[in-house]
Structure 1
Amino acid sequence: MSSTHEDAQAQTDQPVVKPVLTPGAAKRATASVTGMIMALAVSLLAIVPIWLISGNSGTQVQRPSVNVSAIAADAKGVAGFSPAAPSLPAGYSANYARWMSGSSDGVNHWDVGWVTPQQQFVSIEQTASANPTWITQQVNQAPVTGTRSAGGVTWTLYDKPGVEKSYVGKVGKTTVIVSGSASFTEFDVVAAGVAATGGN
């Protein structure tokens, strides 16, 4: 009995052995830490320039300037009418203007899009050769839901949930479709601007 107690006492009295790293192991451990620090530094160097280029996310997005009037003047010769280049109030920013020809539907048309003051989108499509099939395609097969008056023109309203609404009206000798996600107020501004151009 006493022998067992003495053996246990002897085990507890033995000094605790502390692990000692060999020089090679210490070097490897230091190298791992250094490698991690270097990898972090490289990652930061890659991220910082991107962050600087992108700038402050709260700043106003800069959009390219599109000269709708100049592009419309260039398109007039092939269009056979004066493509609408409406003068819109401040806050309407054109992001494209183009003459569309050679499309599969066979209807050549003038196409312009704007971002509105409320950061919504509105576009016009104008042609002298509209047909019912083309109009149905451009309004995304939405049904007629009423009429709107803007710029002295009575526009047919096409609208259904989940689809952009559209105005369709006659301006001079052309058919104009105004489409997009903008409010009726902003639609009316664009429609009135187009009506003022005459469409001849």
Structure 2
Amino acid sequence: MQPGSREEMRRIRMSSNWVNMVIALGVCLAAVLVAFAFVPRPEMELTREVDYVGMAESAQTSADFTLAVPALPEGWTSNEANLEPMGTPAVETWYVSWVGPEREWMSLRQSQGNDNWVRSMVTDELSESGTREIAGQTFTAYENSRGDQALVGEVDGTTVVLKGTAAWETYDRFATEIVEGA
């Protein structure tokens, strides 16, 4: 075999393929690592905040009932709000979700739904744990061993379901705001 012949070049290419592949992968990995080094990272946790009061004002024109719009305790923010069919049976439901300063959360579901709707909102994972008198209204309390809770009551001809992981005092505060705002 002559130096530089086709046969010699073919053997060099055949034996060098895996080496070239490793080199190419190493170069690609280095390029990706360099790109990640220059990607900016947020220094604080990103949270979405929505204007649930403004959304309630807009949605009120199409709602068949007065939407509950409780004032938020210090440090709480709303991250979702909408008026759409929910539950079983699906009925028009005002839904608002809030996040508290201690990573707790609470949601409001308000509708003119029946008992089946309430069961679909509270779900089978919560057990009835008693009643609470709040601002002259009786609410039924539900909870489970994981710290999930719900408070269900009738307010101004609608059914209100407060559900989340906050302290019971926070539920009382939200429920009071809803009852007194009705």
Instruction: Bin the TM-score by the shorter chain.
Output: 0.7 to 0.9
Specify the alignment match of 2:34 in structure 1.
45
Aligned equivalents of 1:143, 1:37: Cα separation in 2: 57
Asked if 1:179 is matched to 2:163, the reply is: yes
Specify the alignment match of 2:77 in structure 1.
93
Secondary structure, counterpart of 1:196 in structure 2: helix
Unaligned runs of 5+ in 1: 1-27
Cα separation, partners in 2 of 1:154 and 1:103, compared to 1, 3 Å: closer
Specify the alignment match of 1:136 in structure 2.
119
Q: Select the structure of larger CA radius of gyration.
A: 1
1:55 to 39, 42, 48: 42
Aligned equivalents of 1:82, 1:74: Cα separation in 2: 12
Answer whether contact 1:95 1:114 (CA < 8 A) is retained.
yes
Aligned equivalents of 2:120, 2:110: Cα separation in 1: 14
Percent identity over the alignment is 27
CA-to-aligned-CA distance 1:107-136 (integer Å, 9 cap, x gap): 211000000121111001011x22111111
Cα separation, partners in 2 of 1:170 and 1:38, compared to 1, 3 Å: same
Cα separation, partners in 2 of 1:38 and 1:160, compared to 1, 3 Å: closer
* Deviation larger for 110-119 or 151-160: 151-160
Cα separation, partners in 2 of 1:163 and 1:79, compared to 1, 3 Å: farther
Question: Across the two proteins, how many residue pairs are aligned to each other?
Answer: 164
Answer whether contact 1:146 1:158 (CA < 8 A) is retained.
yes
Asked if 1:169 is matched to 2:158, the reply is: no
Aligned equivalents of 2:180, 2:144: Cα separation in 1: 28
Cα separation, partners in 2 of 1:135 and 1:151, compared to 1, 3 Å: same
Structure 1 residue 100: deviation in Å? 1.3
1:79 to 47, 51, 63: 63
Cα separation, partners in 2 of 1:148 and 1:49, compared to 1, 3 Å: farther
Cα separation, partners in 2 of 1:62 and 1:36, compared to 1, 3 Å: closer
Structure 1 residue 78: deviation in Å? 2.1
